[in-house]
Amino acid sequence: MEPLSNRRKEVAQKEMTFAERAYLPAIAQGLGITLKHFFKKKATVQYPEQTRERSSVWRGLHVLKRDENGAERCTACGLCAVACPAEAITMTAGERKAGEEHLYREEKYAVTYEVNMLRCIFCGLCEEACPKAAIFLQDDKLAPARFERDEFIYGKDRLVEPNKTTETK
């Protein structure tokens, strides 16, 4: 039969040579390999002090953005919740009252906005679906481990970007 690749090897059992039977050359070879590893660069990342470098398009914890005046961009249209394949996003919409223009950008806003971080798969589809550029996945934060399941449901208190006191870039 025509060989599929030139990597084919004969595997017939050959009688071992004296060096092979003596086992000592093989031990020396093995010791050489382990000694080489002894001086190799270590693979460990010293976690709390050092974090692994992330890609620039890495998708981490969600953030609800504010506009340049500090008003929340989200208008509770629900497109993110629809786009979400894990059904992690829930929200309730409310109407903006007079005098709240500096808080909410549009007439309709999200009264509650919750992301369940246990369900979320960090795919970033909410980010793509959002017409108002309100929700983004940050590239420098992640949802840390917690003891209670409730604590993984992030409400607006933890999602909305804090008010900036200085000029945004």
Partner 1 sequence: MESVDLLYKAIYILVIFGITLLIATYSTYFERKIAAFIQDRVGPNRAGPAGLLQPLADAGKLFFKEDFIPAKANKALFILGPGVAMLVATMSSAVIPFGDMLIVGGREVYLQAIEVNIGVLYIFGVVSLGVYGLMIGGWASNNKFSLLGAIRAASQNISYELAMGLSLIAVLMLTGSLSLREIAAQQAGFNWNIWYQPLGFLIFLVCAFAETNRTPFDLPESEAELIGGYHTEYGSMKLGMYLFAEYINIFVVSAVMSTLYFGAYNFPFMENLRQAISDPVLANNVVTIVGVVAMFIKIFLFIFFFMWVRWTLPRFRYDQLMKLGWNILFPLAILNILLTAGGILLKDYFF
Residue ranges binding partner 1 (CB under 8 A): 24, 27, 30-31, 33-35, 37-38, 40-44, 46
Tell me whether residue 112 is annotated as binding: no
Q: How far is the CB of 30 from partner 1 (least distance, A)?
A: 5
- In sequence order, the β-bridge partners of residue 112 are 92
Tell me whether residue 123 is annotated as binding: yes
Closest of 117, 123, 118, 110 to residue 154, by C-alpha: 117
Q: How far is the CB of 40 from partner 1 (least distance, A)?
A: 6
Rounded to the nearest 5°, which phi and psi values hold at 66?
-110, 160
Tell me whether residue 56 is annotated as binding: no
Q: Is 63 left (phi over 0), alpha (psi -120 to 50) or beta?
A: beta
CB atoms near residue 132 (< 10 Å): 17
Q: How far is the CB of 19 from partner 1 (least distance, A)?
A: 15
Tell me whether residue 77 is annotated as binding: yes
Nearer to partner 1, 28 or 111 (CB): 28
Q: What is the DSSP string of 96-133?
A: PPTT-TTTBSSSEEEEEEEEETTT-----HHHHH-TTS
Residues 77 and 163: their CA atoms lie apart, in Å, by 22
Q: How far is the CB of 146 from partner 1 (least distance, A)?
A: 23
Nearer to partner 1, 19 or 31 (CB): 31
Residues 104 and 108: their CA atoms lie apart, in Å, by 8
Tell me whether residue 120 is annotated as binding: yes
Nearer to partner 1, 8 or 41 (CB): 41
Nearer to partner 1, 26 or 133 (CB): 26
H or E element, residue 63: strand 62-64
Tell me the binding residues. 74, 77, 80, 84, 120, 123, 126, 130
Tell me the binding residues for [4Fe-4S] cluster. 74, 77, 80, 84, 120, 123, 126, 130
